[in-house]
Amino acid sequence: MMRSLPYFCRGEVVRGFGRGSKELGIPTANFPASVVEHLPADISTGIYYGWASLGNGDVHKMVMSIGWNPYFKNTKKSMETHVIHKFKEDFYGATLSVVLVGYIRPEKNYQSLDALIAAIKSDIEEAERRLDLPDHQKLKQDNFFRECANPVVNGH
């Protein structure tokens, strides 16, 4: 279906709408418009799972939302990555490298913020499970994650 998967991309972490940590308790890193506009046509909006690293750092599991966040009615298409790892600091300005490995579900509108949070938590569990499959582990080792030109800024 999505011939472009696995899809590798990289970009600077820019400020989103700032709701991720505060309202949801699930921090997300936003890519700039230039990265969003480069998405191949067959990568539809929705929720994806894959691998991510910051600068030359370790590769972690991630979930990504691509689209307009119907719950918040955004007008600008975004790519928001939640890296499944506890970081001490935020990473605005750092280079985020990701590979989108698979698709989980379409974006939805929810009746409440709690329902949205519950959906994202179940996406995270789904991503954790699927990424343990041997084929997906191989992508974690991809050279793409070792060739980042810009080391993490932000004091790491």
Active-site amino acid positions: 80
Residues 106-145 that bind ligand FMN (CB under 6 A): 107-108, 116, 119-120, 123
CB 10 within 8 A of CB 100: no
- Nearest approach, Cβ of residue 146 and ligand FMN (Å): 26
Strand partners, 102: 49
- Residues 10, 11, 12, 16: which binds ligand FMN (CB under 6 A)? 16
- Residues 7, 51, 71, 144: which binds ligand FMN (CB under 6 A)? 71
> Residue 122 corresponds to which amino acid?
S
State which H helix or E strand residue 47 sits in: strand 46-54
User: Whose Cβ is closer to ligand FMN: residue 115's or residue 133's?
Assistant: 115
x/- mask, ligand FMN, residues 21-60, rule CB under 6 A, reads ---x---x-x----------------x-------------
Both tokens of 108, joined, read 């939805």
User: Whose Cβ is closer to ligand FMN: residue 113's or residue 151's?
Assistant: 113
DSSP reduced 3-state for 46 = strand
Is residue 70 near ligand FMN by the rule CB under 6 A? Answer: yes
42: exposed, middle or buried (C-beta count within 10 Å: 0-12, 13-18, 19+)? exposed
Q: What is the bridge-based pairing of β-strands 46-54 and 78-83? A: unpaired
- A 10 A CB-CB count for 43 gives 18
Report the interface residues with ligand FMN, using CB under 6 A. 16-20, 24, 28, 30, 47, 63, 65, 69-72, 80, 82, 107-108, 116, 119-120, 123
